[in-house]
Amino acid sequence: MVKMSLDAVQVMSGQVKELKVSPSSNGDARGSWEGKEEFDPSQLELTAKPKPVTGRRARKVEGAVFFPKPENAVTVAVSSRVLFRTEREQKVFEQKGVEEYLRYQIEHENEPFAPGPAFPFVKALEAVNTRLRELYPQSEELFDIVLVTYNHAHVGIRLINTINHHNLFIERFCMTGGSSPIGYLKAWHTNLYLSADAEKVREALAEGIAAATMFMTEKLTEVSESQLRVAFDGDAVLFSDESERIFKTHGLDKFFEHEKENEDRLLDHGPLKGFLEALGKLQKKFYAKGQRLDCPIRTYLVTARSAASSGIRALKTLRAWGLEIDEALFLAGAPKGPMLEKIRPHIYFDDQMFHVEGAAEMGTVAAHVPYGIAQKYNSQQKMSSGK
């Protein structure tokens, strides 16, 4: 089993030592900027002229390329620590403190960060935007990506250089200097927040914002560059944890009995239902142009439910909500990892760490949704195992 924890920034590999992260400015873990000797970047001596960043592209906002209003777009807020790999910088902060960390970032600001676990997902969002602009040049119904970071503004130059180096179209930043980003997420009308900080993810969920914790992984499966693939668990992700509570407290037989008795009663919504709705809204724009079979967005339901005994309620609920799932996999308790390896999603959402770890073992980027009854049982398991 791949070793993971909910501590921010973990390298998911049995051979890699777990990186313990103290509160920091680098990414999502909240850091304190008080009680430290103030760093003056003007005093930084550079012995050599900075080299230009290779691969920088010219930005032109003309024609169909413009910035949508947040209320019209599907806004995805991504932490810098899941979009890019920043472990080295994190160690500088932990070992030498915030002032040396800032000095290091400025000295290396022309060295781009390597892609992190959210990078392929963001690239896929941009590929969908390209197709949407071709079909609807004046529409503001696009993915709008916001980079959210706890970093000090001094680090912004390196982040911008990295974005240009990787040819990402990200123009909106939230650099909070150690403050919580949750208020900004609400102001951006955020549809999805991806972070390495589980506590901030829980805070976002409590505010009604779809959110999930992402992890570093050493093994990554190659994913499509032209079609965005998003996979969801059912209970406590798309749906509420009502049925999962029955299963956890009364067992499988009672769960089947409960689902049979309530198959015509809709499940309540879960934390990621709104994001699936947003994806469906963009899918329909392609369907309207006769591109259902060539749609660059594809969604999947990957659930441990059984089809005959408990699947009908889930499907009836989705239909009543007016939501379409392109593929539904009812695994009846079988491992999800092998199925996800075949799907090759850019991201998979699940409320149980067991399934997140299993997906990661097969090279799938899986994000944990810390919501519902399963979190109580996860905590009990950690306590009983001494973790």
Question: Can you give the pLDDT at residue 66?
Answer: 62
What CATH number does domain 74-214 carry, 2.40.10, 3.30.70, 3.90.550, 3.40.50? Answer: 3.40.50
CATH number, span 228-385: 3.40.50
Question: Would you kindly state where each structural domain of the chain is located, as residue ranges?
Answer: 74-214, 228-385
**Phi and psi of 239, rounded to 5°?**
-105, 170
Per annotation, catalytic residue among 28, 144, 197, 233: 233
String of DSSP letters for 31-84: ---SSSPPP-GGG---SSPPPPPTT-------TT-----TTTSEEEEEEHHHHE
- Greatest mean pLDDT range, 308-312, 327-331, 373-377: 327-331
- The helix/strand/coil state of 290 is coil
| Prediction pTM value | 0.81
Helix (H) or strand (E) holding 347: strand 347-350
253 is catalytic: no
What are the structure tokens assigned to 369, written together?
């949704």
What pLDDT digit, counting tens, does each position of 180-214 carry?
Answer: 888 899 999 999 999 999 999 999 999 999 999 99
Question: Can you give the pLDDT at residue 176?
Answer: 87
Q: How confident is the model at residue 378 (pLDDT cuts 50, 70, 90)?
A: low
Using alpha carbons, list the distances in angstroms from residue 266 to 101, 162, 175, 261, 317: 51, 46, 41, 12, 5
Q: How confident is the model at residue 52 (pLDDT cuts 50, 70, 90)?
A: very low
Question: Can you give the pLDDT at residue 94?
Answer: 86
Question: Can you give the pLDDT at residue 245?
Answer: 78
pLDDT at residue 8 greater than cutoff 70: no
Burial (Cβ within 10 Å: 0-12, 13-18, ≥19) of residue 384: exposed
Question: Can you give the pLDDT at residue 9?
Answer: 40
Stretch 145-158: mean pLDDT: 90
Q: How confident is the model at residue 68 (pLDDT cuts 50, 70, 90)?
A: confident
**Phi and psi of 282, rounded to 5°?**
-70, -35
Is beta strand 84-85 parallel, antiparallel or unpaired with respect to 114-115?
antiparallel
Q: Which residues contact 289 (CB under 8 A, 6 or more apart)?
A: 135
Question: Can you give the pLDDT at residue 131?
Answer: 97
Question: Can you give the pLDDT at residue 286?
Answer: 98
Percent of the residues in the chain that have a pLDDT greater than 90, as a whole number: 58
Stretch 23-38: mean pLDDT: 38
Q: How confident is the model at residue 45 (pLDDT cuts 50, 70, 90)?
A: very low
Higher pLDDT, 3 or 164: 164
Q: How many residues does the chain have?
A: 387
Percent of the residues in the chain that have a pLDDT greater than 70, as a whole number: 80
Q: How confident is the model at residue 101 (pLDDT cuts 50, 70, 90)?
A: confident
333: left (phi over 0), alpha (psi -120 to 50) or beta: left
How many Cβ atoms sit within 10 Å of the Cβ of residue 215? 26
pLDDT at residue 25 greater than cutoff 60: no
How many Cβ atoms sit within 10 Å of the Cβ of residue 143? 25
